[in-house]
Amino acid sequence: MPVISRALRWWLVAFCLLLALLCHPGRGDAQLIETTENRIEYQDGGFDLAASFDFDLPPALEDALHKGISLYFVVEFQLTRPRWYWFDDKPVNTARSVRLSYQPLTRQYRVSTGGLQLPFTRLKSALQFIQHVRGWRVFERNTVRPGETYQAQVRMRLDLSQLPKPFQINAVNTREWNLSSDWRHFNYTVPTNLDAPPAPPAPVSLPATPVVPPASLPPALPPVPPVPPAAPTSPAAPASAPSSAPAASSGGSDARGTPFAQTVSTVLSPSQLVQPSASQP
């Protein structure tokens, strides 16, 4: 009788251990996603989460993906404010789901989140897009108090509830299907200068103009003397004036009182204008 009770006791202990392993997988079974970056950024009156994860898709999940099973990755974010006099305040508790599928006809991987759908030709490129979370609005400005320190936590996991029922049963006992990460905790203090205008952009520095040393400058030219103004010239006298002057003086009369016709007739007489040539008979 004591031998039977002892064997039964060992059987009960072994059964309890097996049941505990099936219901609660070990840490190595679900710790396949590593969180590499997480921060909160204030933009346009709200707070965005920027996070990065690192993981490789297990062969079982890759095989199921190529058979037409869509995989859903969920990013969860929580914001908590500790209170010593009561339970902790949790103003933010949100999640975002990303769907990864494969199209056999086009041989493309498709990532869908909200109303955005992006095609990829390689599985690695699709996973890199899922692993980097950017511009996700997690809470608004009126949700938190400026100057308060909050405890933020974020994680990524494979949503098993979105799988077909046969795969959900298989995922409970399969290590590769428990794809998840730990909660990553970090403190975040809300800035108090949220209303301050953004800092102006830094001025663009231009290259300095080289300064020429005085020795290399060319010698200065001598000053140019000013040009004196030209003397006013009297109007030109008619061509007949020089010839008429001696003629008038030889006659002993005043040239100013002699008519113009008389002067021309005296200087240019017909005998002087028409001279017979020597060749005429």
11-64 pLDDT, tens per residue?
A: 665 555 555 545 544 444 455 899 999 999 998 889 999 999 999 999 989 999
Domain containing residue 44 = 26-185
The answer as to whether 120 is a domain residue is yes
The answer as to whether 261 is a domain residue is no
The reported pLDDT for the residue numbered 111 is 96
The answer as to whether 166 is a domain residue is yes
The answer as to whether 213 is a domain residue is no
- Number of domains composing the chain: 1
The answer as to whether 147 is a domain residue is yes
User: For residues 224 and 213, what is the distance between their CA atoms, to the nearest angstrom?
Assistant: 26
The answer as to whether 192 is a domain residue is no
The answer as to whether 114 is a domain residue is yes
Write out residues in the chain with pLDDT < 50, as ranges.
1-3, 21, 24-29, 236-270, 273-274, 278-281
The answer as to whether 75 is a domain residue is yes
- pLDDT tens digits, 163-186: 888 888 777 777 778 889 999 999
The reported pLDDT for the residue numbered 102 is 96
The reported pLDDT for the residue numbered 32 is 84
The reported pLDDT for the residue numbered 87 is 85
The reported pLDDT for the residue numbered 159 is 93
The reported pLDDT for the residue numbered 14 is 58
